[in-house]
Amino acid sequence: MSKHQNGDSKRKLVLYFDIRNTVLVADSISNITVEQALNSYMTAVTWGKNTPHGWQWCSDKPSLRAPHPDAITYYKHLEQDIVKCATERSALRKATGDFTQTVGTQFEGYFLDGLKNIEWKGEPKNFLTMQSHNKTYHYILPAFFHCMNYLQKAGREYTLIFRTYGIDTENVLRATEQTILGNHPQFDAMDVKINMKPGQLKRVKNGFELYDCNTKNGQRPLTSELEIYKKFTESSGVSGYVDDFTFWQENGYHHESGKPLWIDPNDHSIQQIIFDDNIRVSDVDSIVNLRLLNSRTGKSRSLSQKETEIMEDSCLVQMDLLDGVSNQNYFIDKVKLCETNYDRFLMSLSGE
């Protein structure tokens, strides 16, 4: 048994975080208020179905899972009619921005609780707060910084990497930097390095291209999947990358065209976990392309949907935003759960 499987030592944690609906409620770019953004999220966790007589609700409370096999989210109900390109996702969020005050009034209590949980106490702080309807809110969920603080105090080896299709990466990095510097009233300064310039991970036909802040004009990006895996897993501190939304969209939102995440079960020194509200392991349109990498040969392949389901809450975490805003230990608890489940996964491979 590997020492990383029996608790004698801890694996390095490589934690990836989507941005919107994962570490924040409302981005600082799209001009959508916190209330509109949270309302929009509510449409993605409330379920119903189309009937000859119109839309019919199948749930009376938010949930990540469908209450019935034929139920779809209200967000999915509207999405196909509105979103034709990446920029139109903003239009969809605006169209759902008054959800709990109109068609979804039965869910308004959950909405109001969510707002209360992210209210900022005290004077606003640059990069750390957002103003909306005469109220001040946390820009980044406190649970994210609690996780970061926990890893620091526990002496864990880790790296945090933002992975988004959006355009708010630089502002999220600025907010994280302010917290690292000790400017967040809830957290002491942390000895963590941060790369303030986001990179890009593009998908091309039959391949990948990774650009970071050190990729100069005329310089070739990383294209080897093994090199990209090493780039991520050997990094430290905090960084951010913008993934290729257009590729995912042009390929029908199929999970094999989504954000790639390489895992190597032979590498017992690393555990990778990605948090994203659009991870749906049972659906073909899940946002993460989980790829099995053999670091000894450099070869990799996409996991099937059935294989991917096994990795839920071990490498893949569907973000529950409402839980994340109410529970400051949300990410900490999920990381612990994933470590336990990944131990079991590795032991199953070894036949123990």
Per-residue pLDDT, averaged over 142-170, amounts to: 97
**Angle, in degrees to the nearest 10, between helices 74-82 and 88-95:** 140
Of 220, 174, 170, 226, the C-alpha closest to 198 is 170
Q: Is residue 2 part of a domain?
A: no
| Residue 87, domain member (yes or no) | yes
Asked if residue 7 has pLDDT above 70, the reply is: no
* Residue with the two structure tokens 């510097």: 181
Residue 110 sits in the same domain as residue 16:
no
Q: Are residues 311 and 217 in the same domain?
A: yes
Confirm whether 128 is domain-assigned.
Answer: no
DSSP bridge partners of 49? 56
Note the pLDDT tens digit of each residue in 325-339.
999 999 999 999 999
Q: What is the pLDDT of residues 179-194, one digit of tens each?
A: 999 999 999 999 999 9
Main-chain dihedrals φ then ψ at residue 39, nearest 5 degrees: -60, -45
Please indicate whether residue 349 or residue 4 has the higher confidence score (pLDDT).
349
For the chain, give the mean pLDDT: 92
Judge if 164 and 48 occupy the same domain: no
DSSP sequence for 118-172: TBPPSS--TTTEEEETTEEEESS-HHHHHHHHHHHHTT--EEEEEEESSS-HHHH
How far CA 285 is from CA of 67, 264, 301, in Å, comes to: 19, 23, 18
Determine the Cα–Cα distance for residues 42 and 31; give it in Å rounded to an integer.
19
Are 70 and 155 in the same domain?
A: no
Q: Which of 337, 219, 348, 215 is nearest to 273 (CA)?
A: 337
Contacts of 318 (CB under 8 A, 6+ apart): 64, 276, 277, 278, 279, 280, 281, 312
Q: Quick check: is 6 in a domain?
A: no
**Within a domain: residue 133?**
no
* Number of separate domains in the chain: 2
**Structural domain boundaries, residue 217:** 12-25+140-350
Using 50, 70 and 90 to split pLDDT, how confident is the model at 236?
Answer: very high
| Domain identity same for 54 and 18 | no
197 and 345 co-located in one domain: yes
CA atoms lying within 13 Å on the CB side of residue 103: 19
Residue 147 lies in a domain: yes
Residue 101 shares a structural domain with residue 19: no
Note whether 195 and 269 are same-domain residues. Answer: yes
pTM of the predicted protein model: 0.93
Same domain, 19 and 55: no
The amino acid that residue 301 corresponds to is R
Whether 16 and 51 share a structural domain: no
- From residue 36, how far is each of 85, 321, 337 by CA, in Å? 20, 14, 32
Q: Which residue has the higher pLDDT, 235 or 206?
A: 235
244/309 same-domain check = yes
Q: Per-residue pLDDT averaged across 114-135, rounded? A: 96
The continuous run of DSSP H or E covering 209 comes out as: strand 207-211
Alpha carbon 176 to its chain centroid, in Å, reads 16
Does residue 122 fall inside a structural domain? Answer: no
Q: Count of CB atoms within 10 A of residue 193's CB?
A: 11
3 state SS of 221: coil
